[in-house]
Chains A and B, each alone.
Chain A
Amino acid sequence: MAESKDGGLVFKPMQQFEVTPLFGDGPVGMFTITNSTMWMALAIIAVVVLMVLGTRSRAIIPSRSQSIAELVYGFVYQMVEDITGKDGVKYFPYIMTLFLFILFSNYLGLLPKAFTPTSHIAVTAVLAVAVFVAVTVIGFVKNGAGFLSLFWVSSAPLALRPILAVIEVISYFVRPVSHSIRLAGNMMAGHAVIKVFAAFAAVVAISPLSILAITAMYGLEMLVAGIQAYVFTILTCVYLKDALHPHH
Chain B
Amino acid sequence: MADTPTEGAASSGGMPQLDFSTFPNQIFWLVVTLVVIYFILSRVALPRIGAVLAERSGTITNDIAAAEDLKQKAVEAEEAYNKALADARAEANRIVDETKAQIKSELDTAIAEADAEIAARSAESEKAIAAIRDSAKDDAATVAKDIAKDIVAAVAPGKIDAKSITAAVTAKVKG
Contact = CB atoms under 8 A, between A and B. Distances in A.
Interface of A: 8-15, 17-19, 27-32, 34, 36-37, 40-41, 43-44, 47-48, 51-52, 55, 58-60, 62, 66, 69-70, 73-74, 92-94, 96-98, 100-101, 117, 119-123, 126-127, 184, 188, 192
B23 A73 contact: no
A69 B50 CA distance: 11
A93 B41 contact: yes
Interface of B: 1-3, 8, 12-19, 21-34, 36-38, 40-42, 44-46, 48-53, 55-56, 59
B27 to A, nearest CB: 5
A52 B59 contact: no
B34 A122 contact: no
A100 B46 CA distance: 12
A97 B51 contact: no
Given A14-B16, A100-B37, A58 B48 contact: yes
A40 B38 CA distance: 13
Contact of A30 (B25, B38, B42): B25
Residue of A10, A98, A123 contacting most chain B CB atoms (<10 Å): A123
Contacts of A97: 34, 37-38, 41
Contacts of A74: 53
Contacts of B56: 60
Given A37-B29, A74-B53, 7 more contacts: A12-B1, A15-B12, A36-B22, A40-B29, A51-B44, A60-B56, A117-B30
B17 A188 contact: yes
Contact of A9 (B3, B38, B45): B3
A125 B119 CA distance: 129
Given A14-B12, A58-B51, A188-B17, A30 B36 contact: no
Contact of A31 (B25, B33, B55): B25
Nearest to B22: A19
Contacts of A52: 40, 44-45, 48
Nearest to B50: A73
Q: Which 10 A-B pairs have the closest CB atoms?
A: A51-B45, A19-B22, A17-B16, A40-B33, A30-B24, A93-B42, A122-B26, A18-B16, A122-B23, A97-B38
